Structure formats: structure tokens, C-alpha cells
């Protein structure tokens, strides 16, 4: 059965609520653990059905945001997902009050109870309408970006299709393409600012309804961050400022010299070599054929996984009109199937996104048999270890895609990973500031972004673009709108992925064994427990941070990038 054959049927909320009420009654009335486990499994299956339909809808909607049927269904889920959240909350209450809690913990582990306790802090019935409005605002932002029609020299592009022009060898083309893209954002900046302003105020109101001072603590609870705090994240940002920002700045200086420029402007940042960026040497179909070879050779497990993905048509990879921007992986529990979504555009990003999302997909494929819904995925920062590490575990096969430009790609890839982290923590600090100061104006938010941006990205030059100089670059970052506080996760995971990169160079067999073990346990443990399970060191430890970054810097310093 392929994805096209996956049946979609709108889950009727009233029927679902009725069935849940019966199963909840069975759970509470259980005379022994065996009866309660059966009720637990019934509730789990019920929730799987709803989640599967939601994800099928989401995939088909984002593949074509112009599809009227799935746009309507997406609106249905925006409205009814909070009601489903209410069902989950009732389930968590049952778990935490169970007289067989110890037996349940022995059967399913303690993480489900951590998740239950955190989740109870994120919901009360009186916020249902607010959650529905929050979903509606997020969908409005996604649809706005997906609908971009950018006229460049008489040809119409969407945001994903414009990227190759932004990476063109000709500097004037890069400048013009960048200016045209940001003109779209400038034309929509009031609308984007209004969406976000409503989101901030709404999230603040939700937080106060739930007894929080502001949205920050609620945001962390929503992300199920059970073993680290905002204070530790602030300390992590300081480590980045002290140890990575100087390295990233030096890498941008090297890039400026490589390109023969006096000044690196914002539109030059993604153009890395005067000879041109490394690009895959074939079409999307050619990439998939070589990826099949790569995953067959990487391990028996990845070979089976990638054949499964291809045979069942579980990937939509190429950019097209009406398609949502970006890339993601999701999972359809009913069919035990991951799904990879991306927007191939002929750049090296095609390989990055494929290996990245394949890391997510392989993890969830590996943990698909875990009986607890909450354990299919770990928390986000742990998820990103799987994806970012897969990018590095795939390095021995990069010659299949880049041929004579393989070493150029590896240098660009590792350097880009370092250069990303300051941007990632800037996004995180910006979100903390915004939600700690919910009453500031859209203009004041822009000013705050530009101040934070200068702190972590001191090289960035917007002198040719007054719109970006005013502090609007953040408006392109979807995570800020759709999943607040989901961004530091990439930075924490990158420090872990660098450890896999280092281990794989020294002993591939041992590195792969640790990675496979990490994938197979899914989300049955918290972030730092998973880090320890994979024989990694905590990214919050200063000594770990310095050692890891020092190793990456040494590798980059030993490369003569002027030969590329």
C-alpha cells in the first residue's frame, strides 16, 4: 500500500469523545492491572486513529495548499485539535491517579508520567477557544508564505524556487534575487507583524489563565522540557557567544577573502566559493537512486528502511507551486509509516534535507513498534540529534552526490553547522525577550531582533537593504510562528551531532551502534537520559562544549578552502 492509498476519513469528535469516555470509565473501574492495561491500550488505539488522520491531512494540505478539500480539513483540525488535547489531558489525569501506577511504570517506563505531569500544566478547558485561535493564526502564516508569487525578470517563483538564484555565481543576481524575496516580506510585513502580535498576546493570555507570569514557562512545558531550565539555556547561549561566535565570525572572514570581496553582504552569505557552491550532479530521481545505494551500504537497517520509504511512496521531495515551504518528517501511526516532505531546488540543501529528514524518519521507523504513543517521538531537541547526526553519518557516501566537489561539500557542510548555531541562539533569545515583554509593539520587536542579531551575528551587513536593517529578518522563520521555543533544540542537538561526527571518524561501527540504540528507544526517556544512553556528553557542560567545538575548529582550520 502506498501513501496515495492511505485512507483519509475525518474523525468525528463527538464519537471519539464518547468512545474515550467509555474507555476512561473502564480504566477507572479496573479491578486489576491487566484490566487497566487493556483500557490503556484501547485509549492508545483511539488516539492513534485521530493522530493518523491529522497527519494524512497535514501532509496532503502542505503538498498543495490550494487543495480546497484538505484546506477545509486543515481548518477542521485547527478547530478540533484542542478538543483532542483535552482528551489527552483527561487520559494523563487517569494515569497519574491510577492505583496501579507502579505496575504501569514497570510496563511502560516513567517517562509517560513525566509527560503527563508536564502536559497537565499546559491545559485547562477554559483555554479551548484560545488554542483554536492560536492554530488558526499559525495556519495563516504558513498559507501566506506558501502562496508567495515572486516576479523576478518576468518569471514567477515561490520562496523555495528562488533559492538557487540567491546562490548564483553572479553577485548582481544574488543581490537582485535577495532584494526581490525580501520585497515580498516587506509587502506583507504588516500582515506578518499583525499575525505575530496576535499570537504573542494570545499566548500571554493563555499563560496567565493557566497561572503563569508569562508564556516562557508555559512554552517550556509545552515542549516537555523536564530535565533542564530556561536558566541553563541562557548559560548555553553564553557558551555560544563566548566560544562559537568568534569561530563563526572568522569563517565568514575566510569566506569574504575566498570570494575576493571587500565586504560580505547578507546576500553573499549563502554563496560560499568563487567557483560556485557544491551542487548535486543529477536530478531528484538520480539523488534518490544514489541515496538507495548509500542506505543499503550504511547498514542493513537503513537499507530496509529506505526501501520501505520508496516502495510506499512516502516522500514528496521536489518544490512545486502551492507547496508549503521547508521540510519536515511526520509519522502515520495507523500505517506505521514515516513521511518525508521537502522542496528540492537543485542546491546542496537537497542532500542536507534528505539526510536530515531521513534521520528523523529512520528513528520513528525504528521505534514504530513501541506501544505508547508518547514514545514514538522523543522531545524535539532529542529528535534533532537523530536528524543532524544522520547528516554526518552519511558523509562517507557524499561522493555519490557531489563527485569531484565532495571535499568542498564537506567543508561547507561542517562550516555551515558552526555558523548556524549563533543564528539559532539568536532566535531563542529573541523569543524569550518577546514573551517576557508581551506588550511591546511590532516595531519594538524588530528593534530587539536587530540588537540580538548584532550580538550573535556581528558580521551581518544589511547596508543595501533598509527593510532588513530595521530588524525584520526573523519574520521568515516559521518556527517562531508555529512552534514557539522550538529552535534552541537544533543548537543543543548540533553539539551532540558533532560528537557523532567525531566518533564516526574514529570508529564507524561503535558510532553506528550508539546511533541505532538511540533511535530504537524513541521517546521512552528524557533528553539528557537519551544523551547518556547514546554515550554522548551533555551539551550544557562547559568542558564538553569546549572539547567538541575545539575538535570541529581544528578540522576546519586544517582545510585549505582557497583550493576549492
**Predicted pLDDT at 420:** 97
Q: Kindly state the cell numbers that stand for 519.
A: 533511535
464 pLDDT band, cuts 50/70/90, is confident
DSSP state, residue 535: T
- Count other Cβ atoms within 10 Å, centred on residue 45: 15
Cα–Cα separations (whole angstroms), residue 78 to 121, 124, 332: 21, 17, 18
1 pLDDT band, cuts 50/70/90, is very high
- Judge whether 127 lies within some domain: yes
**Predicted pLDDT at 281:** 97
Please state the rounded mean pLDDT for residues 428-437: 98
- Judge whether 83 lies within some domain: yes
Q: What DSSP element (H or E) covers 96?
A: helix 68-96
- pLDDT, one tens digit per residue, over 517-539 is 999 999 999 999 999 999 999 99
- Judge whether 258 lies within some domain: no
DSSP string, 153-203: TTEEE-TTTTHHHHT-SSHHHHHHHHHHHHHHHHHTHHHHHHHHHHHHHHH
Q: Give the whole-angstrom CA distance, residue 112 versus residue 339.
A: 25
- Judge whether 97 lies within some domain: yes
Q: Give the whole-angstrom CA distance, residue 268 versus residue 528.
A: 38
Q: Give the whole-angstrom CA distance, residue 122 versus residue 225.
A: 12
- Judge whether 8 lies within some domain: yes
- Judge whether 312 lies within some domain: no
Per the confidence metrics, is the pTM higher than 0.85?
Answer: yes
Q: Which domain holds residue 33?
A: 3-133
Please state the rounded mean pLDDT for residues 292-300: 98
- pLDDT, one tens digit per residue, over 238-283 is 999 999 999 999 999 999 999 999 999 999 999 999 999 999 999 9
**Predicted pLDDT at 515:** 98
- Judge whether 116 lies within some domain: yes
- Judge whether 123 lies within some domain: yes
Ramachandran area for residue 330 (φ above 0: left; ψ -120 to 50: alpha; else beta): beta
Q: Give the whole-angstrom CA distance, residue 324 versus residue 343.
A: 9
Domains identified in the chain, total number:
1
Please state the rounded mean pLDDT for residues 273-294: 97
The average confidence (pLDDT) of the chain is 96
375 pLDDT band, cuts 50/70/90, is very high
Q: Kindly state the cell numbers that stand for 258.
A: 575566498
Dihedrals φ, ψ of 365, to 5°? -60, -40
Amino acid at each position: 500500500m502506498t501513501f496515495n492509498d492511505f485512507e483519509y476519513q475525518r474523525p468525528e469528535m463527538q464519537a471519539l469523545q464518547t468512545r474515550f469516555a467509555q474507555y476512561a470509565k473502564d480504566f477507572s473501574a479496573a479491578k486489576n492491572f491487566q484490566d487497566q492495561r487493556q483500557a490503556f491500550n484501547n485509549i492508545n488505539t483511539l488516539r492513534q486513529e485521530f493522530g493518523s488522520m491529522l497527519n494524512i491531512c497535514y501532509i496532503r494540505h502542505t503538498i498543495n495548499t490550494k487543495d480546497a478539500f484538505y484546506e477545509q480539513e486543515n481548518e477542521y483540525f485547527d478547530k478540533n485539535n484542542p478538543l483532542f488535547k483535552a482528551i489527552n489531558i483527561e487520559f494523563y489525569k487517569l494515569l497519574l491517579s491510577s492505583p496501579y501506577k507502579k505496575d504501569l511504570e514497570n510496563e511502560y517506563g516513567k517517562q509517560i508520567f513525566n509527560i503527563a505531569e508536564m502536559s497537565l500544566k499546559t491545559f485547562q478547558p477554559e483555554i479551548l477557544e484560545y488554542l483554536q485561535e492560536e492554530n488558526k493564526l499559525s495556519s495563516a502564516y504558513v498559507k501566506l508564505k506558501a502562496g508567495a508569487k515572486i516576479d523576478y525578470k518576468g518569471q514567477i517563483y515561490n520562496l523555495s524556487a528562488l533559492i538557487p538564484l540567491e546562490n548564483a555565481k553572479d553577485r548582481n543576481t544574488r543581490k537582485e534575487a535577495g532584494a526581490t524575496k525580501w520585497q515580498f516580506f516587506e509587502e506583507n510585513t504588516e500582515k506578518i507583524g499583525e499575525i505575530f502580535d496576535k499570537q504573542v498576546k494570545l499566548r500571554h493570555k493563555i499563560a496567565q489563565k493557566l497561572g503563569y507570569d508569562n508564556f516562557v514557562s508555559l512554552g517550556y512545558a509545552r515542549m516537555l522540557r523536564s530535565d533542564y531550565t530556561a536558566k541553563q539555556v541562557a548559560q548555553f547561549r553564553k557558551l555560544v557567544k563566548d566560544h562559537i561566535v568568534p569561530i563563526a565570525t572568522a569563517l565568514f572572514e575566510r569566506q569574504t577573502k575566498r570570494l575576493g570581496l571587500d565586504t560580505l553582504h547578507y546576500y553573499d552569505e549563502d554563496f560560499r566559493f568563487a567557483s560556485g557552491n557544491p551542487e548535486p550532479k543529477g536530478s531528484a530521481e538520480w539523488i534518490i537512486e544514489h541515496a538507495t545505494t548509500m542506505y543499503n551500504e550504511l547498514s542493513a537497517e537503513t537499507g530496509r528502511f529506505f526501501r520501505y520509504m520508496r516502495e510506499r511512496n512516502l516522500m514528496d521531495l521536489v518544490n512545486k507551486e502551492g507547496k508549503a515551504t521547508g521540510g519536515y518528517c511526520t509519522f502515520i501511526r495507523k500505517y506505521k509509516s514515516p513521511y518525508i516532505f521537502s522542496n528540492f531546488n537543485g542546491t546542496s540543501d537537497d542532500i542536507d534535507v534528505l539526510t536530515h529528514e531521513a534521520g528523523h524518519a529512520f528513528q520513528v521507523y525504528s521505534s514504530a513498534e513501541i506501544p505508547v504513543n508518547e514514545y514514538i517521538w522523543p522531545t524535539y531537541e532529542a529528535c534533532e540529534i537523530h536528524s543532524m547526526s544522520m547528516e554526518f553519518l552519511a558523509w562517507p557516501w557524499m561522493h555519490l552526490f557531489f563527485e569531484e566537489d565532495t571535499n568542498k561539500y564537506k567543508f561547507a557542510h561542517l562550516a555551515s553547522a558552526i555558523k548556524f548555531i549563533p543564528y539559532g541562539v539568536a532566535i531563542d533569545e529573541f523569543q524569550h525577550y518577546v514573551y517576557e515583554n508581551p506588550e511591546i509593539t511590532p516595531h519594538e520587536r524588530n528593534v530587539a531582533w536587530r540588537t540580538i542579531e548584532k550580538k550573535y551575528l556581528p558580521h551581518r551587513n544589511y547596508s543595501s537593504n533598509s527593510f532588513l536593517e530595521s530588524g525584520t529578518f526573523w519574520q521568515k522563520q516559521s518556527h517562531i510562528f508555529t512552534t514557539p521555543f522550538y529552535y534552541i533544540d537544533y543548537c543543543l542537538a548540533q553539539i551532540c551531532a558533532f560528537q557523532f561526527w567525531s566518533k564516526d571518524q574514529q570508529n564507524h561501527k561503535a558510532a553506528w551502534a550508539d546511533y541505532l540504540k538511540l533511535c530504537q528507544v524513541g521517546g521512552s526517556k528524557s533528553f539528557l537520559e537519551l544523551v547518556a544512553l547514546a554515550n554522548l556528553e551533555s551539551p550544557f557542560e562547559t568542558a564538553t562544549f569546549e572539547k567538541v567545538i575545539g575538535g570541529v575548529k581544528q578540522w576546519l582550520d586544517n582545510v585549505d578552502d582557497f583550493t576549492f
